[in-house]
Amino acid sequence: MFLILPLKANIIPSISLPDKLSESKYSVRMLRIDARIDYRVETPECKNVKFNDYFFLNENIKDLNDKNHVYDPEFYPITLWSCSYSREVYDVGEYGSHIQHIVFDKNKNIWVIDDDATKTNNEFKPSVLYNISSVNAQGFLIIDENISEMDKTIYEDDNIKKKFYFCMIDGSHALCGAGSLIRKIDNQLIDFTPYILKSLESMEIGVN
């Protein structure tokens, strides 16, 4: 077990915010443990999860239990959620396209990309890794542009261009999720990277 000390909420490396993203404008969302979405619960310790939604403000959508809006593209890009034991996240890490391995550096207390990973072809696009500290958790988000046919099936998107996976760890448990970062809204392709990073930075796990 690794001891994660509470830190000020931040994102490393730092990001530039698009003009449409205001840190003072957001909707507060609640992911409940009994949510009617794709939420795999290995441990109930994540309880309810609260976060700021910077994507699209819509006062008619109160939380992720609203099944009428769960799959709307304007609602949220995270399509797969799970609450797991943190030891599993630390032990396994994450494989970007099964080529680059994401591991926890105990000396630096951050997640890093294993430099010994082997690049198997010239078309491989290196993964992008962010370390995130939130209200009461720490973790990572990895972005991968190496899209497989299986990814298209998992995310039900034949045109998926950029996928992500994250885990936010609070003590013995971790809230993880995955989804597609590029969504088509009003015939425009929008990159949700800064939006989801800011939402993860605001995340509070274990809310009663």
Q: Is residue 1 part of a domain?
A: no
Q: Is residue 33 part of a domain?
A: yes
Per residue in 176-194, pLDDT (tens digit) is 999 888 877 777 788 889 9
Q: Is residue 5 part of a domain?
A: no
Q: Is residue 4 part of a domain?
A: no
Question: Could you list the residue range(s) of the whole structural domain that residue 192 is in?
Answer: 11-16+27-207
pTM of this structure? 0.82
Per residue in 131-144, pLDDT (tens digit) is 999 989 999 999 98
Q: Is residue 47 part of a domain?
A: yes
Region for residue 188 given its phi and psi (left: phi exceeds 0; alpha: psi -120 to 50; beta: otherwise): beta
Quick one: tokens of 138? 């720490």
Q: Is residue 174 part of a domain?
A: yes
Number of domains in the chain: 1
Q: Is residue 6 part of a domain?
A: no
**Cβ count within 10 A of residue 48:** 16
